[in-house]
Chains A and B, each alone.
Chain A
Amino acid sequence: MSASEKENAKHPAAHRLDAVAAGDTDAVVSAHLEACEACAGYVEKLRGQAARFRAANEPAAFVARLGAGAGAGAGAGAGAGAGAGAGARPRPVRSATLYRIGVVAGPLLAAALVLLMVRARSGDGGPGLSVAPPSMTTSTQTTAESRFKGGLVVAVIRERGGRQDRITGPFQVRADDRIRVEVSTDREGPLAAGLLTDAGQWVALLAPVALEAGTHYSELAAHFDASPTLATLLVGPPGDVERARATRDFAGLVAWRVTSEASP
């Protein structure tokens, strides 16, 4: 057995590591990740890449395009599958370009149709922010993952001038920024997320809901205007978030300070 084969035998096969990175549960792999830095790094990197892919690709639009294409190409690919390799048909390369346009255009059209933003701005000195459906833009920057109690990994996607930054800690905003929350969890359970302003206003980004293991995005984005922002992003179990809103004790929660770039 060669050195690399011995190395292979030390680590779970790629499909098992990949499955855990996708959000599946595997007790053996999870135990291995606790002890193996190389595999833990591999899985974390894939989690981040998968999260960015999910943020930029709308499943319904992808499948809708397949439906249209399958009608035009009936019979293509028949006979292929897990147990048979026959049936692939040659495709013109340009179909990939059409695919990308379809995936991007679908969400943009949907976003245009629901561009009736729900203004949630308070008049009590809180931040100038509103909530709206997330938009689709190009991801350009990322930072490392932050893992919290309960197998929770949280990141903020900040959209600014057509680009997205993926942030994993306290962050600053300025006028026209939009943020949404990405939550990856390795177990099923209820979670909530939102912004609590220093003035006491609560802007929900992820309503309390039972989430499956995997990666999820807040259904709403917070949209900031030019007013100064002083707030805290809270993510965690709904009961703890509710308590924190009342007591301002953020123990046990992901609590990241959000400030305006101009503010101290």
Chain B
Amino acid sequence: MSEALSSADAARLYERYGFFLLRRCRTLLRDPAAADDALQQVFEQLLRRGGGVLAADEPLRWLYRVVDHCCFDVLRSRRRSKESSHGDGAELGETPHPGVDIEARDAALKLLGTLSDEEMRIAVMLFVDGMSQGEIADEVGLSRVTVNKRIQALRARAAHYIEEAS
């Protein structure tokens, strides 16, 4: 992500993927206004240093990583300021991935801001993207055994959260 992206290319990306990027911002942040800001920030970064997306084999996957980093920054900032989200994912008309457990996903998203960076990445891949353990291990560069341990810990926290909430 070192070369600048032209305005025309940014407009083309926005037209094709803007909905999907905003939807992901809303899913992760559970706050429409914060999601709008995050999307704007993503494109500002792309204009400055986003030329790499044009050569990406999977442009949307590449863009999702940028979105995730921006949203994780917002979540970390919220954690520091003890600020909570202003909305609820359910009101955003989300369409969860067919393979995910919706209750666990919602719990994990609510816990997201309390997780470490690595846990956040794994939680999003597992509960939002519906990725398999093998895919997650490849993406984060950990062994499957380690990823499995992290996932079990995340599931336990999500289950505990659901139990507390009910």
Contact = CB atoms under 8 A, between A and B. Distances in A.
Contacts of A22: 16-17, 19-20, 60
Most buried by B among A18, A24, A36: A18
Given A59-B11, A63-B10, A96 B97 contact: no
A15 B58 contact: yes
B60 A19 contact: yes
A11 B48 CA distance: 35
Contact of B14 (A14, A59, A82, A87): A59
Contacts of A96: 32-34, 36-37
B128 interface: yes
A88 interface: yes
Interface string A24-39: 1000000000001011
Interface in A75-104: 76-78, 80-91, 93, 95-97, 99-100
A67 interface: yes
B44 A66 contact: yes
B69 A93 contact: no
A86 B73 contact: yes
A134 to B, nearest CB: 15
A82 B11 CA distance: 19
B161 interface: no
Nearest to B22: A53
A13 B130 CA distance: 5
A70 B135 CA distance: 36
Interface string A223-260: 00000000000000000000000000000000000000
A38 B130 CA distance: 13
Residues of B in contact with A, size category: 35 or more
Given A59-B12, A88-B77, A66 B99 contact: no
A2 B155 CA distance: 10
Interface string A54-69: 1001011011111101
Contacts of A65: 40
A82 B44 contact: no
Given A80-B73, A88-B70, A8 B99 contact: yes
B113 interface: no
Nearest to A11: B99
B153 interface: no
15 contacts: A2-B155, A11-B98, A14-B130, A19-B61, A22-B60, A49-B93, A53-B22, A63-B7, A66-B47, A67-B7, A81-B45, A83-B65, A85-B70, A93-B37, A214-B16
Contact of B20 (A9, A46, A59): A46
A4 interface: yes
A16 B128 CA distance: 13
Most buried by B among A42, A69, A81: A81
B101 interface: yes
B97 A14 contact: yes
Nearest to A1: B133
A8 B47 contact: no
A193 interface: no
Contacts of A86: 73
A235 B137 CA distance: 46
B33 A93 contact: yes
Contacts of B98: 7, 11, 36, 38-39, 41-42
A23 interface: yes
B79 to A, nearest CB: 13
